[in-house]
Amino acid sequence: MRLASWCSAGCRDVGSVRGAFITFEGGEGAGKSTQIRLLGERLRKAGREVVITREPGGSPGAEAVRHVVLDTGAAEPFGTAMEAILFAAARADHVDQVIRPGVLADRIVLCDRFMDSTRVYQGATGRLDPVFLRALERVAIAGMRPDLTILLDLDPREGMLRALARRGKGAPDRFEKESLDKHRKRRLAFLDLAAREPDRFRIVDAARTPEEIADEIEAHVARFLKRLERRSRDEAAGEPFAARQDMAARA
């Protein structure tokens, strides 16, 4: 299914359009930024309003945290727990200032990384206490869970080659400079998350051309939005509005 065919059935009808929160996850160099841009372009052509954002960052306060954690690495000496707390503070601001307002305004919010990156980077390979991480997540997202998560899966060796080529002569960031073995563990951790939450995740092979990847992502998102539109119309007609995660499960 393509976004254009989904929209041709009347997606602009009053009461048939709702906002949605779609996240992109994956290792370094998997192409998240490129695919978010391509999906945003296709959604806009289909008549939807789109917000494109990223983590860490996305709001002024969160961008300041990004500089401290990623660009300068100033938080690294204080340990993984401190990094997780800073990421959670940035996420809370991001949700409050950008993500929730966008969804409530019936926009499609596309985010480069979200809570699953914390689960993998600070949890699976940072070895933080899962109870501690769940508490941080609960406070940071305040119920703003992704409706759909696109996991771009790529061999870490290829991903690192891409990331370093993209950066050129610039210094690698806090995570790009880590060992290939650690990146391999992160790939497995992302795949494990997807296996445990199949209703929310869609795994996409990121070793193909950008156009091939974008076509598959478009198909996943078009199916999800068609379900969302149908449920919105049912609600407008007085029928109960089912949980969004149920819609993602059938996409």
With a cut of 70, say whether residue 14 has pLDDT above it. no
With a cut of 50, say whether residue 107 has pLDDT above it. yes
Q: What is the CA 149 to chain-centroid distance, rounded?
A: 6
Give, as one character, the DSSP assignment of residue 123: I
Pairwise CA distance, residues 72 & 233, whole Å: 48
Residues of the chain with pLDDT > 90, as a percent, come to 63
Q: Which two tokens stand for residue 245?
A: 């995660």
End-to-end CA distance of the chain: 11
202 three-class SS: strand
How much is the mean pLDDT over the chain? 86
Pairing of strands 50-54, 108-112: parallel
What is the pLDDT confidence band of residue 198, given thresholds at 50, 70 and 90? very high
Q: Nearest-CA neighbor of 100 among 44, 57, 142, 159?
A: 142
Helix (H) or strand (E) holding 25: strand 20-26
Rounded to 5 degrees, φ, ψ at 15 are 90, -5
With a cut of 80, say whether residue 91 has pLDDT above it. yes
Note the pTM of the prediction, 2 decimals.
Answer: 0.84
